[in-house]
Structure 1
Amino acid sequence: MDYKQDLITTIHDFDCDLAFLENRLTELTQSSPAAVLIPALYSELERPALGQICDHLKDCAFVQTVVICLYADSLQQYAQAVRFFSVLPQKTYVIWENGPTISQTLENLKEKGLDLLKYKGKGRAVWLGLGVASLEAHAIALHDADITTYDRSYPLKLLYPLLEKEFGIAFNKAYYARLGHYPRSLYGRVTRLFVAPLLTSLTALLGDRDYLRYLHAFRYPLSGEFALTHDLALQTRIPGNWGLEIGLLSEVYRNLAHRRISQVDLGVFEHKHQQLGASDQSGLQKMCRDILGSVLRTLTETEQVVLTKDHIHALQVKFRRSAQDYAHQYFIDASFNSLHFDRHKEEVTIETFEKIILDGGEAYVTDPRNSQIPAWTRALAVMPDLREQLREAAILDAAEVKALSLPITAPHAVQSNG
């Protein structure tokens, strides 16, 4: 029986009674509403995962609001997205994050001295979505749009610990087993072969640090699925680079006591498999570089660690040994479970990540600046009704495309069955 606890609360699934939890959560959300936030590219509508997600969300009576923060290249694409999500019975906002209405709103904010237009990608989408969702809900669950194993237990497990008041939880993060199916194999390369050996190596190099113990306590620190209270959403700076998940955990570390943080088991989980990348400016290599910078920066900020190039060189040596030890353990685990395991490919990945330790570490020592979107509390100090403006922009954009009656070309993937 796995019942281990650590610095943060781990919520296991010991064959939990999902029907009871769903009824209880539905009751709780009558007075404390809940929302689901999904940042998405238009291309996600052309894959089957998002249609399946909609099919399950339709049955989530415990979710009152759905916020889609969409990156679309044209009015036609945005119109198709509005139609795609119209099957949802919940109050649904499709925010066209790079559309003219939202862009003009952010331009007005820039003229008042706060420039958010310089931030791109998932970080800005999450920031915008949290702003709108926090108007509607006490608790907000966020997940990606490419989850192929999705069912309604995912938002249920993420949201329930936040709304059961006696728990005292303000942030709940998912953990799960990342397994590929064709062939059956271990996924999660960045967590397994970069983050885990990085944290082990930093602990060996710098000694026992509370921040490192905190990150070690998360079974899947890079999971993109989490839930947080609306007040925490307003107080949290969102990382504007590929280190979003680790950067967010670092923000939560600063803002919350450990007892208010939990992680929950979602079981076996699958979504889009990312490419390693041709350089440290693309793919998983870029992700690792940004993760490294985020971890080193937080160590300096919270643990008063002064890092030099000598530390980075020592870290590189320790990382290689630690990563190889982990790879051997994964080999044993995979073999026992009859999973495909390419030891040579794992070693090549480790060698690639090892170079990032040196190059990214030295770059951090030279220039430790960070890319973080200011917290919503700062934005509201500049423009107090900004959230309402963004919500109204989403409503107006959706109404406009419906009034135009644009011809709809269905995405290539099968839509939700509604």
Structure 2
Amino acid sequence: MADFHQNGVVATLHNLRERPIAEIERELAHFAQTRPITLILPSLFSELEAPALENIVDELSLVPYLSHIVIGLDQADRDQYRYAKAYFARLPHRHSILWNDGPRLRAVDEKLKAASLSPDQPGKGRNVWFCIGYVLGARNAGVVALHDCDITTYSREMLARLVYPVTHPDFRFLFSKGYYPRVARRTLNGRVSRLLVTPLLLSLERVYGHHPYIDYLKAFRYPLAGEFAMRAHVLADLRIPSDWGLEIGVLSELWRNYSNQSICQVDIADTYDHKHQPLSPEDASTGLSRMSTDIAKALFRKLATDGVVFSQESLRSLKATYYRTALDLVEIYHNDSRMNGLTTDRHREEQAVELFAANVLEAGNVFLDQPDATPFMPSWNRVQSALPDLLDEIQTAVRLDSEEG
């Protein structure tokens, strides 16, 4: 059973195991009559060939309260797009597929490029950004949720608990973030969150002093969770990174735009597992190596906008502080695992810490060398100002793709 601890920064909504899922779903079906719920699913075509997404679609087919499912499909040719249409056809809800590699949405992207507004990197962030534009153009959502398509332990309870805080008419929350334990095959997972983000936040505080933004991020039990939901009006002003800093970037935007009292985190699962990225120490452009660098850069950029001054000397101190703090946490996680009958590989954990320490310094050096870089995708408010008809053009492109097949 969960505890009931509150951190005093953002509200934590626990799962005390007292309510059956059918009861929660009945309430959500009632709330959704006045606050319709849309789900965004960013997907690679390859995920349609894996068992995780098949189970997710089966579970979603049982959900009674969704009004619209928006699927962002990446890395698909025409035949694969047609396959995706047949694949998702069993969903009983209204659903739309954004064929991001199709000629119509590529033409939309060319118009964005001409206005210097196109996302400059492929990947999940760009996929999510276009899905947000489609949802805004549809103008029929009160709440929008998002989760990944590679969750191997998925159940529809995850979605119900995720959207409940921002759908309930008596709750004031505008944004909810999922959290869960990362345990699978009797092993403690979640290396980037445990071994990079947690010790890095502690180290930033020790080197640069107390900062309310650091307190805010420390308050989240799983800041890198890809599951979040929000009131639809929040979407239009989000400026999110196009790289692996997406989850930190979304939290940063909520910090910038809203009171902490509008934000909550919610326990959505007892167990959680998904596709694991390789550490990739030999290639800094992929895997957890790339992810760690992008996350560190996102943190440095945000702190700099709040007046924190970085230098080569302070970054060297930060690296040393991070390394020692992370090694201490490796010991704590090892003890926690053993007490619960789980395992951690001490050698691999320390290898990860060594790589992350090097990437913290590299991320800092990149930031110092390019302080004027703007790796954020523009907000849709800005896009609408520059290209007032674009949201309707995205709607038309998706509709014509669907009709032609």
Q: What TM-score range do you get, normalising by the shorter chain?
A: over 0.9
TM-score, normalised via structure 2 length = 0.95
Cα 1:269–1:324 change in 2 (3 A) is: same
User: Counterpart of 1:226 in structure 2: which amino acid?
Assistant: F
Aligned to 2:316: 313
Aligned length: 397
Counterpart CA distance in 2 for 1:197 and 1:2 is 23
Aligned to 2:226: 224
User: Counterpart of 1:370 in structure 2: which amino acid?
Assistant: T
Aligned to 1:24: 27
2:272 maps to 1:269: yes
Aligned to 1:12: 14
Aligned to 2:384: 380
Cα deviation code 1:261-317 (max 9, x no counterpart): 011111211110111112322111111101111101111112x11111111000011
Secondary structure of the residue aligned to 1:269 is coil
| Residue pair 1:36, 1:155 contacting (<8 A) in 2 also | no
What percent identity do the matched residue pairs reach?
Answer: 38
Cα deviation code 1:338-359 (max 9, x no counterpart): 1122111111111111111222
TM-score, normalised via structure 1 length = 0.93
Q: Which of 157, 163, 176 is the equivalent residue of 2:161? A: 157
Counterpart CA distance in 2 for 1:80 and 1:72 is 13
2:79 maps to 1:76: yes
Deviation at 1:3, TM superposition (A): 1.1
Counterpart CA distance in 1 for 2:234 and 2:43 is 22
Q: Which moved more, 1:338-347 or 1:85-94?
A: 338-347
Aligned to 1:300: 304
Deviation at 1:391, TM superposition (A): 2.2
User: Counterpart of 1:68 in structure 2: which amino acid?
Assistant: I
Deviation at 1:106, TM superposition (A): 2.1
Aligned to 2:120: 118
Cα 1:299–1:396 change in 2 (3 A) is: same
Secondary structure of the residue aligned to 2:268 is strand
- Where structure 1 has 5 or more consecutive residues not aligned to the other structure, the ranges are 402-418
User: Counterpart of 1:3 in structure 2: which amino acid?
Assistant: F
Counterpart CA distance in 2 for 1:345 and 1:360 is 22
Q: Which of 163, 178, 193 is the equivalent residue of 1:174? A: 178
User: Counterpart of 1:395 in structure 2: which amino acid?
Assistant: R
Q: Which moved more, 1:130-139 or 1:73-82?
A: 130-139
Aligned to 1:205: 207
Counterpart CA distance in 2 for 1:343 and 1:237 is 38
| Residue pair 1:114, 1:382 contacting (<8 A) in 2 also | no
Deviation at 1:117, TM superposition (A): 5.2
Deviation at 1:208, TM superposition (A): 1.4
2:295 maps to 1:291: yes
| Residue pair 1:119, 1:373 contacting (<8 A) in 2 also | no
Aligned to 1:237: 239
Q: Which of 85, 90, 93 is the equivalent residue of 1:87? A: 90
Counterpart CA distance in 2 for 1:60 and 1:333 is 36
Aligned to 1:415: none
Aligned to 1:410: none
User: Counterpart of 1:54 in structure 2: which amino acid?
Assistant: V
Secondary structure of the residue aligned to 2:154 is coil
Counterpart CA distance in 1 for 2:209 and 2:116 is 39
Aligned to 1:188: 190
| Residue pair 1:72, 1:78 contacting (<8 A) in 2 also | no
Cα deviation code 1:214-261 (max 9, x no counterpart): 000000000111011111111101211111111111111101100000
User: Counterpart of 2:240 in structure 1: which amino acid?
Assistant: I
Aligned to 1:102: 105
Aligned to 1:405: none
Counterpart CA distance in 1 for 2:266 and 2:239 is 23
Aligned to 1:414: none
Q: Which of 50, 61, 65 is the equivalent residue of 1:47? A: 50
| Residue pair 2:120, 2:242 contacting (<8 A) in 1 also | no
| Residue pair 2:31, 2:169 contacting (<8 A) in 1 also | no
| Residue pair 1:171, 1:227 contacting (<8 A) in 2 also | yes
Secondary structure of the residue aligned to 1:238 is coil
| Residue pair 2:279, 2:288 contacting (<8 A) in 1 also | yes
Secondary structure of the residue aligned to 2:350 is helix
| Residue pair 1:34, 1:65 contacting (<8 A) in 2 also | yes
